[in-house]
Structure 1
């Protein structure tokens, strides 16, 4: 899981300054002229990811996961987008067995100035088959999931539940179902946000590990539910 050379396992204000400037100058000419600043920001990102991988290896099977496999490219795919800005305004990585393309529910981290940095995980854009599995499990036994996501420590750390819900009860379920709120969920993705000050702290990588440990029971719940029979996978 090591990267080449010694990486600092923390972000500096220079990374935020680069991302803020990129928002104002999102074009290839400016980016190439400031390539050294991006390389420095990416080196900091690699250092943080390396520290996170080391910490999370205590509770996740990450032995063959390389830092480079976890980091998302800063280039945007603009082929089918009306927004032709070539670069993302954030840095991001995902932790799962083998990296960001694990094919399972993994842990996603986004670094962006203006209090937009966050750690999150959960059900996001599931296949119809996986959504059906989720609802079937809620109908049969919602207690296991509720025990995880309604625990005081979890709810305190992850107060935001993102994702779409249906306006009415899903087909096949009664409108007065006791777990209607969960059944209506089309996505259920939990987020913990970080201030810019939080991201710049020396222990930020360790905070990601702490939050990921809290997320693990929910990720395990979804991974068992969706992939135990090796059905089609989803990615975050």
Structure 2
């Protein structure tokens, strides 16, 4: 896998973040997109072997475009110089949760798990209810030595207890009830990726450490439905 080509292209895109350069280098872009899609396919198969809930889907159903939505952003650069994919039970939809691949040069790459989207209040409520009902199960997952060695729970977090949950302020899960979203990240350096003998196998070993965390969230989110577009 030519990870160096992927990184070189992303670095060049970051320096030439404009439509003219983007279209002029279409041939180079298509080559690295193909490389990344092959990587995602490799991940799909390797993850499915160790997690039957992780699907084998075409890369096009799992990857995100380089184009940015600039409508509500001060940064009007049209492209996001990063390759991303979410391998979840329903493809790249954030719910159910799955495994997230984020490749960006200069040691900004990471492997992720859990729920990164915090705009779904119904999802937040379902997770909070699960935390209350299954407190010991959740704590057992995040307190496993292998889990604690590699991860800490991240996400958008309220400063105070959410309304309706004040009675749990002294609970061992109080801080987790403040999260609007809950996710995991395992940071990767460029060197770790470029010099790895088998990056996919090594990354999958890290992903599988997230499996129980993902399953806890997905059980909580079983009744979640995405809001209908008006």
The answer to whether structure 1 residue 81 and structure 2 residue 73 are counterparts is yes
**Residue 17 of structure 1 aligns to a residue in which SS?**
helix
Alignment of 1:16-31 (within 5 A): 16-31=7-22
Alignment of 1:84-99 (within 5 A): 84-99=76-91
Q: Is the 8 A contact 1:64 1:97 kept in 2?
A: no
List runs of 5+ in structure 1 lacking aligned partners: 1-9
Please, which of 118, 121, 133 is the counterpart of residue 128 of structure 1? 121
In the superposition, relative to structure 1, how do residues 184 and 80 fare at CA in structure 2: closer, same or farther (>3 Å)?
closer
Cα RMSD, aligned residues only: 2.0
The answer to whether structure 1 residue 72 and structure 2 residue 64 are counterparts is yes
In structure 1, distance between residues paired with 2:135 and 2:115: 15
Structure with the larger RCO, 1 or 2 (CA within 8 Å, 6+ apart):
1
Aligned to 1:60: 52
Aligned to 1:222: 217
Q: Is the 8 A contact 1:66 1:99 kept in 2?
A: no
| 1:78 positional shift | 2.1
Query: Which deviates more, 92-101 or 145-154?
Result: 92-101
| 1:116 positional shift | 0.6
Normalised by the size of structure 1, how large is the TM-score? 0.86
Alignment of 1:1-236 (within 5 A): 10-58=1-49, 59-62=51-54, 65-101=57-93, 103-124=95-116, 125=118, 127-158=120-151, 160-172=152-164, 173-174=166-167, 175-200=169-194, 201-227=196-222, 230-233=223-226
**Residue 185 of structure 1 aligns to a residue in which SS?**
coil
| 1:45 positional shift | 0.5
In structure 2, distance between residues paired with 1:65 and 1:79: 31
**Residue 29 of structure 1 aligns to a residue in which SS?**
helix
In the superposition, relative to structure 1, how do residues 136 and 84 fare at CA in structure 2: closer, same or farther (>3 Å)?
same
**Residue 107 of structure 2 aligns to a residue in which SS?**
coil
In structure 2, distance between residues paired with 1:198 and 1:177: 39
Q: Is the 8 A contact 1:226 1:233 kept in 2?
A: no
In structure 2, distance between residues paired with 1:102 and 1:161: 17
- How many residues matched? 222
Q: Is the 8 A contact 1:104 1:233 kept in 2?
A: no
**Which portions of structure 1, spanning 4 or more consecutive aligned residues, are displaced by more than 3 angstroms?**
61-64
**Residue 209 of structure 2 aligns to a residue in which SS?**
helix
